[in-house]
Amino acid sequence: MDCFWVILLILVALAVVLGIRGWQHYAANAARKRKAEQLPATDAKTGAQNGGTQNKGPATERPAENPDTMSPFVRDILGCYLVVLAIFLSYTIYRLLAVEFPPEPATVQQAAAPAPATMNTDKAAQPAAVVPAGQATPTPATVVPIISKVVPSTISTYSQPPSLTVYGSNFSNQSRVRINGDPLSTAFVSPSELRGSLEKNKDEGKDKDKDKGKRQLEQGTVFVDVVNGEAFSNALSLQVISYGKLNWCTHNFDIGPEARLILLVLLAGALGSFIHALQSLIDFSGNTTLKASWTWWYIARPFLGMALALVFYAALRGGMLAGTPAAVKDVNPYGIFTIAALAGMFSDKATQKLADIFDVLFKADDNRKDKLKKVTIKTTSLNNGKVNVAYKPTQLEAVDGAAPYAWSATDLPQGLILDSHTGIISGTPIAPGTKSVTLTVKDSSGDTDTKSLDLNIQN
């Protein structure tokens, strides 16, 4: 499926949505027109029966629209937005799942790292140079180079950079960059910087146009060093990675296994949230209870699903939900896709699961004695009440301490109760009098506070 068909499918979906909406407008206008044509005859007949008085009552008036109800135009725009988003997400996910990665070789052939920076002593015996009498023996001017960094340190077998930059010291115009002992065309930049071209030399390979002149480096680890004549430097490793090809519309992108998984998670989370949002839009539209205040919820819902799915994926890969961390090659992309889509679809439950993880990782029981801040009852008075009249609820408040709080009370007037979880006093008193109510709060660490307040019940 190429980009043309994706765009065509989006346009067809938009045409269908707008066509259905146009047909609905046409049908509604036709119905109102028929009703308007029937009303004069009905009014004339009613007027004749009532002595010529026409009926102009509420039956001929259109009911006022609720300003909180979402307008049909906004509803249609949201529907088109969700449909286009679904096509985009589905196509991109399809392309991501279709990416193939080259198999890793059973045994990667890695060149042995050269010896540390030194002079080359493995040479055939050369005849001694004849030195005229009275002249000193010349000393070699060769300097041993040293390299400290290679940029980039990782390259792709598909999209190699044009050159490697080698940083170090003791470089000269005679310095040459090598990969596994194979010299590269080298440009001298400074005594501390060289650039080795990854283009093939003119005499390397007869089919240069076919491979675009790039050296075919095998997947694995290769070693980069520098030679100054007979002296060679230390070697640094260069990782050669085989990426997959993501064909999206008419463009091709290099993508690694980890990047593909992250993109799958993001798009799957958005797709799961889209399913939830579209189902909600259809249900509330069908019940004519779609509210305008929910417009931004439908717009932002897929992005919320993306963020939540990414956090959930990180928790999974980090081993917080499934034991030990998993390597990229051991992760099933379809399983990750399913989990991310479910996290986006059921965001409330996913959030609760993440909250459980947070509690396990970061919740600490503060068992210290004489803490600087203990739980304290903040409420200073209680509402008064009347007999046989519903009591105005009083919300008890506490500060400091560790939530959640547990409340209790003694000597409450008959008919009143205290919710131990919410700290709300409610009910209907049945007897007059003033009670001194003793309130007690206990936080999650076990600290408590007690306070006595008067509560007056009048006849």
DSSP symbol at 66: P
Q: 268 and 345 in one domain?
A: yes
pLDDT tier at 137, thresholds 50, 70, 90: very low
CATH number at residue 157: 2.60.40.10
Which pLDDT value is given to residue 110?
A: 44
Locus of tokens 């996913």: 350
Q: Tell me whether residue 322 is in a domain.
A: yes
Among 362, 397, 417, residue at a domain's last position = 362
**Does position 325 have pLDDT exceeding 70, yes or no?**
no
**Does position 318 have pLDDT exceeding 60, yes or no?**
yes
**Is-contact 395 424, C-beta < 8 A?**
yes
Token couple for 223: 């070693």
User: Which of 276, 281, 313 shows the shortest CA–CA distance to 294?
Assistant: 281
More confident residue, 61 or 73: 73
Q: 273 and 329 in one domain?
A: yes
Q: Tell me whether residue 23 is in a domain.
A: no
Q: 295 and 210 in one domain?
A: no
Q: Tell me whether residue 325 is in a domain.
A: yes
Q: 230 and 161 in one domain?
A: yes
**Does position 180 have pLDDT exceeding 90, yes or no?**
no
Radius of gyration of the chain (CA): 39
Backbone φ, ψ for residue 416 (5° rounding): -105, 145
Q: Tell me whether residue 27 is in a domain.
A: no
Q: How far apart are CA 270 and CA 128, in angstroms?
A: 77
Please list, in sequence order, all residues whose beta carbon lies within 8 angstroms of the beta carbon of residue 5, skipping any fewer than 6 positions away: none
Q: Tell me whether residue 214 is in a domain.
A: yes
User: Which of 409, 422, 417 shows the shortest CA–CA distance to 453?
Assistant: 409
pLDDT tier at 218, thresholds 50, 70, 90: confident
Q: pLDDT for 332-380, tens place per residue?
A: 888 888 888 888 888 777 777 777 777 776 665 556 555 556 889 999 9
Q: How far apart are CA 221 and CA 217, in angstroms?
A: 10
**Does position 6 have pLDDT exceeding 60, yes or no?**
yes
Over residues 281-287, the mean pLDDT reads 83
In angstroms, the first-to-last Cα distance of the chain is 81
DSSP symbol at 445: T
**Mean pLDDT, rounded, of the chain:** 76
Q: Tell me which residue range forms the domain holding 173.
A: 142-242
Which pLDDT value is given to residue 373?
A: 65
Q: 344 and 389 in one domain?
A: no
Q: 407 and 338 in one domain?
A: no
Which pLDDT value is given to residue 49?
A: 53
Q: Tell me whether residue 267 is in a domain.
A: yes
Q: Tell me whether residue 357 is in a domain.
A: yes
Q: 350 and 263 in one domain?
A: yes
Among 242, 263, 284, residue at a domain's last position = 242
Over residues 311-336, the mean pLDDT reads 71
Q: Tell me whether residue 412 is in a domain.
A: yes
The structural domain count of the chain equals 3
Among 310, 328, 362, residue at a domain's last position = 362
pLDDT tier at 71, thresholds 50, 70, 90: confident
Token couple for 268: 């799957």
Q: How far apart are CA 75 and CA 353, in angstroms?
A: 33
Q: 342 and 407 in one domain?
A: no
Q: pLDDT for 289-314, tens place per residue?
A: 888 888 888 888 888 888 988 888 88
Q: Are strands 251-255 and 244-248 parallel, antiparallel or unpaired?
A: antiparallel
Question: What is the distance, to the nearest Å, from the Cα of residue 417 to the centroid of all Cα atoms in its chain?
Answer: 46
Q: 263 and 356 in one domain?
A: yes
Over residues 185-209, the mean pLDDT reads 75
